[in-house]
Amino acid sequence: MKPALKIPTPVTLGLKKSFGFGDRLGLATPGHLAAARQSDFAPIFAQQSIREMARTQRTPEAVLRAAQTALAAARYSKTWGADADHLKTLEDVEQTAAAGYTFFTLDPSEFVNNGADRLSALELEHEIAALARDGAAPELDWRPFYLNQRFEVGPRLTLEFNQEKLFRAAAKYGRAIAHGVKMARHIAKACQGRPFEIEVSVDETDSPTTALEHLFFGLELKRRDVKVVSLAPRFIGEFEKGIDYRGDLERFEKSLQPHVAIARYCGPYKLSVHSGSDKFAAYPVIGRVCGSLLHVKTAGTSYLEALRVVARTAPALFTEIAAYCRSRFDADRASYHLSTSSAEIAALRPFHGPADEGLYLDERVGRQLLHVTFGSVLTAGTDAKGRRFKDSLLELLERHADLHRDLLERHFTKHLSLLNQG
């Protein structure tokens, strides 16, 4: 009788540079593991946001169990993490803590005031007064802590607040910080003494996070005794889903350097890059500037590699999925920031077989079409015979497990090697 497989459990990873592998189907871990074995990044194999779980009709337990099963089969014994991603409510925290997650990504983006930069002087004063009235400001007045102070953030970086810049940073992020503090304290309670680590994400906002805003955010977390392992600002340029970085790389590198210095000064904690998949042009810059203070988060790109298996082995099924995605694009794109337009989707040539793989899986328009419609495909989509796309897709991936693993290994080895190239 073979000995029972030992079920591996996730742990905290600390300040080791790390990489999150999102898996929307529960079958990608063998490919993720193959790539991770060739890298010095600490892996997070179970990672899915509450939003994605709802769209794929999965539970926190199911996401974690899928990773554990694959790791047990591979007899993996090294450290790995489990990320409960983009948590917005106390209930989200309770569900994921109970399931055994070790890494909690807090998403207070709904509490960010995206109009803070446009407030008049009078409106700004009213907003600052409202923060104190609503309990979103700390108990002690923070103005003496910031005004007329010089923050020696790095060897060649000194930052100072005047009253307007301080007020605008507080107006923009004050309520988000307060919500993050509330969530962080609930995590400590929900984990009941079990080790955990926290990331705070404000990447899904309208305007980039300035160096002063990041400094304010990081110092306020520290002043309120919230220790974070990573923080995700909104960087300059566009980190769209499923495609490469869009923007000026020289400006991006110049803007990234202060963020790394601030992360070291306020923590230290890692900078987290969200929508981090497929940003191949930016990876050498990110790896070089961030060094070990880096976490990269990916999600939908693994789903696209699963669809690549379909395009190669079952083109008729892929044709039906692509046509269905066209019908869902306008509705499903609502919660994403995309450059791809409905007109471009309409102009996209229908899939006619494996020769069109690149058009749909390597080019911007096709990739974003498939990326944003994943929830509809996996929960509501059916083929001409009435069979759910999800059932056909999972069956196909099981049948072509080696191809699926090899495609994922190739894809993520490219990610990880370019990050280390810097």
Written in H, E and C, the secondary structure of the chain is: CCCCCCCCCCCCCCCCCEEEECCCCCCCHHHHHHHHCCCCCEEEEEEEEHHHHHHHCCCHHHHHHHHHHHHHHCCCCCCCEEEEEEECCHHHHHHHHHHCCCEEEECCHHHCCCCHHHCCHHHHHHHHHHHHHCCCCCCCCCHHHHECCCEEEECCEEECECHHHHHHHHHHHHHHHHHHHHHHHHHHHHHCCCCCEEEEECCCCCCCCCHHHHHHHHHHHHHCCCCCCEEECCCCCECCCCCCCECCHHHHHHHHHHHHHHHHHHCCCEEEECCCCCCCCCHHHHHHHHCCCEEEEECHHHHHHHHHHHHHHCHHHHHHHHHHHHHHHHHHHHHCCCCCCHHHHHHCCCCCCHHHHHHHHCCHHHHHHHHHCHHHHHHCCECCCCCEHHHHHHHHHHHCHHHHHHHHHHHHHHHHHHHHHC
Known catalytic residue at 117: no
Our answer to whether residue 199 is catalytic in this structure is: yes
The catalytic residue among 52, 92, 197, 199 is: 199
Catalytic residue (one of 83, 85, 213, 220): 85
Which residues are the active-site residues? 85, 199
